Amino acid sequence: MDYQKKILDFNKGILDRLLKINHPLKTSFGIYLFTYRKLYLDGRLFQITSDEAWLDKSPNHGIYLSQGIKPKLIQTLESKSKSFLWSGDQSDPLYQSLLEFNIWNGITFYDFKGDYIEIFAYATEKENTQAANFYLNNMELLKHFRTFFKDQLDEIFLEKDIKALFVDVGNHIDIPKVDEQFVQKNITFLESTQPSCYLLTHNSENIFFTPREAEVLFQLSQGKRTKEIARSMISSRPFHQKVATISPRTVETYLEHIRNKFHNLSRAEIIDLFMKSDIYNLMQYRNKVYSLDQQSK
């Protein structure tokens, strides 16, 4: 039995479960197709989809990866996570076959997991021209669904042996070198736009943090202990300077100031509020740039 028949039979065997998983997304928001792919850097690919008509088309025509996917994969390796609205060349065989089945107006998420890239795509009909606005305004909802789907997928994988369901697509991916020029542009931008304080609103109250307090909260949200935080304070310094470590006692002082600002909420409650704020996303971005800067040395 060749790969195409194996993956087709496997996907059809779990199709009812995939449709059940996708049912809330379809009935609530009209997003009726999703495709899940797991692409290893050595070129091995596993994929499943929730659309039966497309399922019959894709494997039988050897359509596994779009011609334009390689640049997106490279960008994912550089930034760890990317998302792209569908705007591809409709002369591409993959896009042609999607349009043939009235599948369009989609978005694809790529996440680099170390030795593979996880690819998750949503789509609807060509007529649903408002889909892009829905995606852009509901990223957290789509992220929630991915978490739900993978939880359900784990149950399926426990029951099925999927080792034989990977195809070699001949698309070996080399981890790219850090683009030093791009990193330096980011550093210049971040240094020239460093805020003097950060704002978080809780219960209609504006709470302000110094850059160091924000960094302490970010490191705390990453599961670091006080001593680890003291060794890794980076956000309130210029990038070209060495990391200026501080004492664990100073970190505790920052934490005390933060707790007072939140009127003595628990540490877990403070971390939860912080991770839902824009400050968390900003700190994530800054630390990612710092990490790339270190890699380019």
Q: Two tokens at 258?
A: 């933060």
Q: Which pLDDT belongs to residue 54?
A: 75
If asked whether residues 87 and 224 sit together in one domain, one would say no
Structure tokens at 21: 């998983």
Domain boundary among 136, 168, 200: 168
In this structure, are 23 and 160 located in the same domain? yes
277 is a domain residue: yes
Does residue 175 fall inside a structural domain? Answer: no
The verdict on 85 and 27 lying in the same domain is yes
Q: What is residue 182's predicted lDDT score, i.e. its pLDDT?
A: 77
Beta-strand ranges (E) seen in the chain are 33-40, 44-49, 81-85, 104-112, 116-124, 167-168, 198-202, 205-209
Closest alpha carbon to 274 in 227, 211, 214: 214
Residue where a domain terminates, one of 119, 136, 168? 168
pLDDT tens by residue, the chain, 297 residues: 466 677 778 888 889 999 999 999 999 999 988 889 888 888 888 888 888 777 776 544 444 566 677 778 878 877 788 999 987 666 677 777 788 888 899 999 999 988 889 999 999 998 998 999 999 999 989 999 999 998 888 777 765 666 667 777 665 566 666 677 878 888 888 888 888 999 999 888 999 999 889 999 999 998 898 988 888 775 445 444 444 568 889 999 999 999 999 987 898 999 999 999 989 988 888 887 877 777 666
- 149 and 25 both lie in a single domain: yes
Judgement on whether residues 102 and 247 belong to the same structural domain of the protein: no
The pLDDT value recorded for residue 128 is 92
Q: Classify residue 273: in a domain, yes or no.
A: yes
Q: Kindly state whether residues 101 and 135 are assigned to the same domain.
A: yes
3-state DSSP: the chain helix, strand, coil percent, rounded to 5?
55, 15, 30
3 state DSSP class of 197: coil
Separation between Cα atoms, residue 283 and residue 289, nearest integer Å: 10
Residues 6+ apart with CB under 8 A from 227: 248
φ and ψ of 251, to 5 deg: -60, -45
Same domain, 14 and 160: yes
Q: Where are the beta strands (DSSP E) in 113-267?
A: 116-124, 167-168, 198-202, 205-209
pLDDT at 216: 92
Q: Is residue 149 part of a domain?
A: yes
Round to whole Å and give the CA distance between 143 and 157. 21
Q: How far is CA 223 from the centre of its chain?
A: 20
Q: Does the pTM of the predicted model rise above 0.75?
A: no
CA distance 230 to 194: 21
CA distance 66 to 53: 18
The CATH number of the domain holding residue 112 is 3.30.450.80
- Which pLDDT value is given to residue 242? 46
174 assigned to some structural domain: no
Same domain (yes/no): 24, 123:
yes
Is residue 44 situated within a structural domain?
yes
Distance from C-alpha of 102 to C-alpha of 54, rounded to nearest angstrom: 10
Number of domains in the chain: 2
Q: Which domain holds residue 230?
A: 180-295
The helix/strand/coil state of 119 is: strand
Same domain (yes/no): 141, 65? yes
Distance CA 91, CA 257 (A): 59
* Inside any domain, residue 207: yes
**Does one domain contain both 154 and 277?**
no
- Tell me: do 59 and 204 sit in the same domain: no
Q: Within the chain, how many helices (H) and strands (E) appear?
A: 13, 8
Dist CA 89 CA 71 (whole Å): 14
173 assigned to some structural domain: no
At a CB cut-off of 8 Å and minimum separation 6, what does 79 contact?
Answer: 288
Q: Residue 188 burial (CB < 10 Å; 0-12/13-18/19+)?
A: exposed
Looking at the fold, whether 26 and 90 belong to one and the same domain comes out as yes
Of 168, 196, 220, which marks where a domain is finished?
A: 168
